[in-house]
Structure 1
Amino acid sequence: MSDHVDRKYRTVTAFQRRINPVLRRLPLQTVLETTGRVSGLPRRTPVGGRRVGDSFWLVSEYGERSQYIRNIRADPRVRIRIQGRWHTGTAHPLPDDDPRARLRTLPRMNSMAVRAFGADLLTVRVDLDG
């Protein structure tokens, strides 16, 4: 990873560490809950994306470097809070999907932020249970 991308990653993650605890508490904020790969504890991350049928689609800003992607790789069972309601599901990182094209199908404001702040985009599909 280039020095520029590394600095960008450190800056964005420092900001997110401060803002994410606030966002997680907002009742209508979409939140992805993974299981910590080391701690085994629930880890909640505010995300943007869109539900399409029985799937929820999102794009990770830093791909494999994102902590929630690492947690998904260790245990793909997740919960996601959509419009205040929790759903269980199985997350699938999709490295062959075009994340920039995917962002064009997702909510505009979040997609703009992901494009602006991200560096190694990765599409994720969460297949929701019943």
Structure 2
Amino acid sequence: MSRPVDLKQRAVTAFQRHVGNPILRRIPLQTVLETTGRKSGLPRQAPVGGRRIGDSFWLVSEFGEKSQYVRNIRADPEVRVRLRGRWHDGTAHILTDDDPIARLRTLPRLNSTGVRVLGSSSDLLTVRVDLRN
């Protein structure tokens, strides 16, 4: 039998994949992280929330290592981030030593609340994207 956390993740992921993400990706000002699919090699876009600080974009993954975009980053850290309608190339870094709960306090409140509610506190993972343009 699946654990409640696993069931929650599967339900949230299914909703995001089939309902939320297709809609949010089309909103021009929505922040989007584009990775390269580790199996397909195709571009994969995920709406995300976070904050640009200097030349870096910070976000917290609600499902950590289980997130498809985190798995794609592990395979190829070269990504693109759409911020305010403009695409930026960058290199993503998975920060396992960063405190994701503390990091959420520095990110936009609405996104941080969503990550806390939808994710599992034991799985949260910080990602930093160093932007080049």
**RMSD (Å), alpha carbons:** 0.8
Corresponding residue for residue 6 of structure 2:
6
2:130 corresponds in structure 1 to 127
Q: Which range moves more in the overlay, 47-56 or 10-19?
A: 10-19
Q: Which amino acid aligns with 1:109?
A: L
- Whether 1:96 aligns to 2:103 is no
Size of the alignment, in residue pairs? 129
Q: Give the residue type in structure 2 aligned to 1:4.
A: P
SS in 2 for 1:105: coil
In the TM superposition, what are the counterparts of 1:8-87 in structure 2 within 5 Å? 8-17=8-17, 18-87=19-88
List per-residue Cα deviations over 1:1-45 (Å, max 9, x = no partner): x70110110111011011100000000000000000000000000
Which whole-Å deviations, capped at 9, do the CAs of 1:47-93 have from their partners, x for residues lacking one?
00000000000000000000000000000000000000000000001
SS in 2 for 1:38: coil
Extract unaligned runs of 5+ from structure 2: none
Tell me the CA shift for residue 102 of structure 1.
0.2
TM-score (norm 2): 0.95
Distance 1:59 1:99 in 2: 6
- The secondary structure found in structure 1 opposite 2:65 is helix
